[in-house]
C-alpha cells in the first residue's frame, strides 16, 4: 500500500437481534396479563355485547400503554391513534344490538389492535405499511404473543426457583395423579349421572367450595390462564426493544411508462363509462336506451359491481406508487397527475352506483346489505379522494387518514343503530316486508311497535304476538355487564307489551 492510498474501512453490517433477545421480561407483565385474563373471564365470557366489552377495551388499552412505559408511548407515534380507534370500535358495540355490526366492529378492533402492537415501539411506521402487512398483523401478533408469553412466564418461574421444586417433587406427584385421578373421575361421573340425589349433593359441595359448580370453575380457570398467557405476551410485545434492521421495501418492478399506460387506459375507460352510462342511471326515463336494454337494467342493477370496481381502483392506487420507477421530478409529477385523473374519472361511476342503489331501495326497501353498500360507497369515495390528496401533499399520512375514515364510518354506523334506522325507514312505506323486519335485532322493535296498528301480520303469526314474545324474551332487565343502549331503549319501548 502506498502512502497516498487510504485504507479501506469496513463498516459493521446491521445485525438482526433475535426476537426473544429483544423482549424485556418483567414480573409486572405476568401480573397484569393474568389480571387481564381474569377480566376476560369476568367481563366477556357468556356476556352479550354491552358494557363489559367497552370496559375490557379500555382496560386492555390502558394496561398496554402504562406497562410499555413513557419511552414506548413516545416512540409509538401515530400508532397511539390506531390503539384509540381499536378501543372505540370495541366500545361501540354497547350502542346497539345488531350482532352483524358488533362482529364487524370486533374484527376491525382486533385488526387495528394488532397493528398498534406491531408498531408500538416505533419499529414499523404507518407510512411504509403494505396491504399484506396490515391483514397479516393479527396472525403475526398472535404468534409473537404466544411466544413472548411463554418466555416471560419461563423467566419468572426461573427467578422464583420453581424449577428445582418441580424437579424434586414433580415426578412423584405426577405418578400419584395418574394412578388416582382417572378412576376417581370416571366413578364420580358414573355415580352422578346415575343418581339425581348424588348429583345434586355433589353440585352443592362444589358450589360451597368454589362458589360455582366445578365445571364452571374449571372452564373459567382455563379461560383465565390461556387468555392471561396471550395478554402477557401482548404486554411484552408492546415493550420490546426496537429491531435495528430496516424493513425491506417493495421492488419497483414497473417502469414509469408502463404505469402511465395503465393509469391512462383505465382513466379513458372510466370516462367513456361516465359519458355513456351515468346519465342513464341518473335519469333513465330521459335516456334513449339501446336495443335489448331494459329500464331495470339501466337503473336498478349493477351497484355492487360498481362498488367492487371502485375498491379495485383504490387498491391499485395504494400499491402502484411503491412499485413504479419514478426517477425524476417530471415522471413523479406525471404519475401524480394521472393518478388524480383516475380518481376524478372514478367519481361518475360512484355517483352512478349510488343512483342505482337509491332507485333499488325506493322500489324494494332498505335492507342491511343495501345500507352497507351505501356506507361502502361513501367510504371508498372518501378514501379515494384522500389518496389523490396525499399524492400531492401529506404523503406519509395516507394510511393513518384511511384508518381514521374507516373508523369514523364504523362509529357512524354504530351511532346510527342500523337495524333501528332500517325499520324506521321501511315502516313509512306503503308495502312493508314485516317478515324481514322481525328478523332484525331488538333495535328494530320500537319502530314496529309504534306502527303495529297498520302493519300486516307476518306469516304464521300476528305482529302483536311477535312483539309480545320478543318483549318477554328481553325481560325487564339484564346483567350490568351485558347492558346495551339499544336493548335498553327497546326494553323501555316495549314495557307495556310484556306479560306480567
What is the distance between the alpha carbons of residues 430 and 71, in angstroms, rounded to a whole number? 62
Lowest mean per-residue pLDDT among 19-33, 95-109, 203-217: 203-217
Higher pLDDT, 412 or 476: 412
* Residues in a beta bridge with 254: 324
Which pLDDT band, with edges at 50, 70 and 90, does 13 fall under?
very low
Rounded to the nearest integer, the mean pLDDT of the chain is: 82
Taking a C-beta distance cutoff of 8 angstroms, is the pair 221, 34 a contact? Answer: no
CA 71 remoteness from chain centre: 28
Which pLDDT band, with edges at 50, 70 and 90, does 10 fall under?
very low
pLDDT for residue 406 is more than 80: yes
pLDDT for residue 500 is more than 70: no
CA Rg value for the chain? 30
pLDDT given for residue 379 in this prediction? 94
pLDDT given for residue 5 in this prediction? 43
What is the distance between the alpha carbons of residues 78 and 62, in angstroms, rounded to a whole number? 16
List pLDDT tens digits, range 78-97.
889 999 999 999 999 999 99
Lowest mean per-residue pLDDT among 102-106, 234-238, 289-293: 289-293
What value does the mean pLDDT take over residues 194-222?
A: 70
Stated pTM of the model: 0.83
pLDDT for residue 210 is more than 90: no
Q: Which residues contact 146 (CB under 8 A, 6 or more apart)?
A: 229, 230, 233
What value does the mean pLDDT take over residues 290-312?
A: 68
Taking a C-beta distance cutoff of 8 angstroms, is the pair 387, 397 a contact? Answer: no
Which pLDDT band, with edges at 50, 70 and 90, does 1 fall under?
very low
| Percentage above 70 pLDDT, the chain | 84
Taking a C-beta distance cutoff of 8 angstroms, is the pair 96, 414 a contact? Answer: yes
Lowest mean per-residue pLDDT among 14-18, 28-32, 472-476: 14-18
Cβ burial 188-225 (10 Å sphere, 16+ → b, else e): eeeebeeeeeeeeebeeebeeeeeeeeeeeeebeebbe
Residue with cell 323501555: 492
What is the distance between the alpha carbons of residues 308 and 304, in angstroms, rounded to a whole number? 6
Lowest mean per-residue pLDDT among 166-175, 188-197, 248-257, 379-388: 166-175
Which pLDDT band, with edges at 50, 70 and 90, does 488 fall under?
very high
What is the distance between the alpha carbons of residues 264 and 480, in angstroms, rounded to a whole number? 58
Torsion of Cα atoms, 222 then 44 then 68 then 115, to 10°: 110
Residue with cell 397479516: 136
pLDDT given for residue 4 in this prediction? 43
List pLDDT tens digits, range 25-54.
777 888 888 888 888 888 887 668 889 999
What value does the mean pLDDT take over residues 132-153?
A: 81
Nearest to 232 by CA among 117, 79, 72: 117
Q: What is the 3-state secondary structure (H, E, C) of the chain?
A: CCCCCCCCCCCCCCCCCCHHHHCCCCHHHHHHHHHHHHHHHHHHCCCCCCHHHHHHHHHHHHHHHHHHHHHHHHHHCCHHHHHHHHHHHHHHHHHCCCHHHHHHHHHHHHHHHHHHHHCCCCCCCHHHCCHHHHHHHHHHHHHHHHHHHHHHHHHHHHHCCHHHHHHHHHHHHHHHHHHHHHHHHHHHHHHHHHCHHHHHHHHHHHHHHHCCCHHHHHHHHHHHHHHHHHHHHHHHHHCCCCCCCCCCCCCCCECHHHHHHHHHHHHHHHHHHHHHCHHHHHCHHHCCCCCCCCHHHHHCCCHHHHHHHHHHHHHHHHHCHHHECCCCHHHHHHHHHHHHHHHHHHHHHHHHHHHHHHHHHHHHCCCHHHHHHHHHHHHHHHHHHHHHHHHHCCHHHHHHHHHHHHHHHHHHHHHHCHHHHHHHHHCCCCCCCHHHHCCCCHHHHHHHHHCCCCCCCCCCCCHHHHHHHHHHHHCCCCCHHHCCHHHHHHHHHCHHHCCC
Which pLDDT band, with edges at 50, 70 and 90, does 254 fall under?
confident
Amino acid at each position: 500500500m502506498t502512502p497516498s492510498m487510504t485504507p479501506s474501512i469496513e463498516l459493521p453490517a446491521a445485525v438482526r437481534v433475535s426476537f426473544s433477545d429483544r423482549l424485556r421480561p418483567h414480573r409486572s407483565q405476568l401480573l397484569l396479563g393474568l389480571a387481564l385474563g381474569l377480566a376476560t373471564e369476568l367481563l366477556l365470557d357468556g356476556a352479550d355485547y354491552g358494557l363489559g366489552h367497552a370496559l375490557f377495551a379500555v382496560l386492555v388499552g390502558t394496561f398496554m400503554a402504562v406497562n410499555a412505559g413513557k419511552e414506548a408511548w413516545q416512540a409509538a407515534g401515530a400508532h397511539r391513534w390506531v390503539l384509540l380507534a381499536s378501543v372505540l370500535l370495541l366500545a361501540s358495540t354497547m350502542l346497539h344490538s345488531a350482532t352483524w355490526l358488533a362482529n364487524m366492529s370486533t374484527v376491525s378492533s382486533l385488526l387495528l389492535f394488532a397493528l398498534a402492537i406491531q408498531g408500538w415501539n416505533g419499529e414499523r411506521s404507518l407510512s411504509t405499511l403494505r396491504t399484506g402487512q396490515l391483514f397479516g398483523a393479527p396472525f403475526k401478533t398472535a404468534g409473537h404473543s404466544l411466544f413472548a408469553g411463554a418466555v416471560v412466564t419461563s423467566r419468572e418461574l426461573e427467578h422464583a426457583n420453581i424449577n428445582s421444586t418441580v424437579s424434586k417433587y414433580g415426578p412423584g406427584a405426577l405418578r400419584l395423579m395418574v394412578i388416582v385421578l382417572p378412576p376417581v373421575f370416571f366413578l364420580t361421573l358414573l355415580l352422578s349421572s346415575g343418581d339425581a340425589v348424588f348429583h345434586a349433593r355433589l353440585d352443592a359441595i362444589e358450589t360451597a367450595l368454589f362458589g360455582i359448580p366445578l365445571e364452571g370453575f374449571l372452564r373459567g380457570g382455563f379461560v383465565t390462564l390461556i387468555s392471561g398467557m396471550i395478554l402477557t405476551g401482548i404486554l411484552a410485545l408492546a415493550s420490546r426493544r426496537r429491531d435495528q434492521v430496516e424493513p425491506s421495501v417493495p421492488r419497483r418492478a414497473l417502469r414509469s411508462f408502463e404505469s402511465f399506460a395503465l393509469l391512462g387506459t383505465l382513466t379513458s375507460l372510466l370516462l367513456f363509462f361516465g359519458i355513456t352510462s351515468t346519465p342513464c342511471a341518473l335519469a333513465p326515463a330521459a335516456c334513449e336506451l339501446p336495443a335489448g336494454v331494459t329500464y331495470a337494467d339501466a337503473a336498478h342493477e349493477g351497484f355492487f359491481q360498481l362498488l367492487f370496481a371502485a375498491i379495485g381502483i383504490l387498491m391499485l392506487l395504494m400499491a402502484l406508487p411503491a412499485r413504479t420507477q419514478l426517477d425524476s421530478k417530471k415522471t413523479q409529477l406525471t404519475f401524480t397527475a394521472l393518478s388524480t385523473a383516475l380518481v376524478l374519472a372514478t367519481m361518475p361511476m360512484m355517483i352512478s352506483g349510488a343512483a342505482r342503489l337509491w332507485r333499488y331501495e325506493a322500489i324494494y326497501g332498505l335492507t342491511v346489505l343495501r345500507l352497507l353498500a351505501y356506507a361502502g360507497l361513501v367510504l371508498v369515495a372518501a378514501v379515494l379522494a384522500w389518496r389523490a390528496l396525499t399524492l400531492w401533499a401529506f404523503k406519509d399520512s395516507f394510511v393513518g387518514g384511511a384508518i381514521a375514515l374507516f373508523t369514523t364510518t364504523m362509529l357512524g354506523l354504530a351511532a346510527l343503530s342500523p337495524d333501528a334506522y332500517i325499520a324506521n325507514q321501511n315502516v313509512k312505506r306503503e308495502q312493508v316486508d314485516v317478515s324481514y323486519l322481525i328478523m332484525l335485532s331488538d333495535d328494530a322493535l320500537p319502530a314496529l311497535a309504534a306502527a303495529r296498528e297498520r302493519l300486516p301480520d307476518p306469516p304464521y303469526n300476528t305482529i302483536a304476538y311477535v312483539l309480545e314474545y320478543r318483549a318477554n324474551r328481553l325481560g325487564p332487565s339484564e346483567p350490568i355487564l351485558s347492558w346495551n343502549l339499544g336493548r335498553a331503549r327497546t326494553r323501555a319501548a316495549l314495557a307495556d307489551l310484556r306479560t306480567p
